[in-house]
């Protein structure tokens, strides 16, 4: 399914009072070295929420989460 079709389906589920005021967007930077992608939500013409997806950031987030778990375990054991 193409993004344009999926976008229409998603936005069709919005409540009537926000239809036309809230939009969702997704893009993929396919020539980027880390295959980056981005998604964002526009409300009232202003970009309000954005999320970036890259392989490096995902790996870094996993390592950071593992480190936090280790630190919490050490603190709990003391």
Distance from chain centroid for Cα 54: 10
Q: What is the pTM of this model?
A: 0.60
- Whole-angstrom distance, CA of residue 2 vs CA of residue 4: 5
pLDDT in tens, 27-63: 877 776 666 778 889 999 998 888 776 666 666 677 7
**Among 73, 18, 60, 59, CA closest to 41:** 18
User: Domain residue spans in the chain?
Assistant: 3-77
Contacts of 48 (CB under 8 A, 6+ apart): 41, 42
pLDDT of residue 11: 92
Percent of the chain with pLDDT over 70: 74
């Amino acid at each position: 399914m193409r993004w344009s079709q999926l976008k229409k389906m998603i936005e069709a589920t919005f409540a009537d009072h926000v239809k036309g005021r809230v939009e969702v967007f997704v893009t993929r930077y396919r020539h980027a070295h880390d295959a980056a992608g981005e998604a964002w939500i526009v409300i009232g013409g202003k970009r309000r929420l954005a999320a970036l997806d890259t392989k490096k950031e995902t790996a870094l987030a996993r390592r950071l989460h593992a480190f936090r778990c280790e630190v919490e375990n050490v603190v709990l054991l003391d």
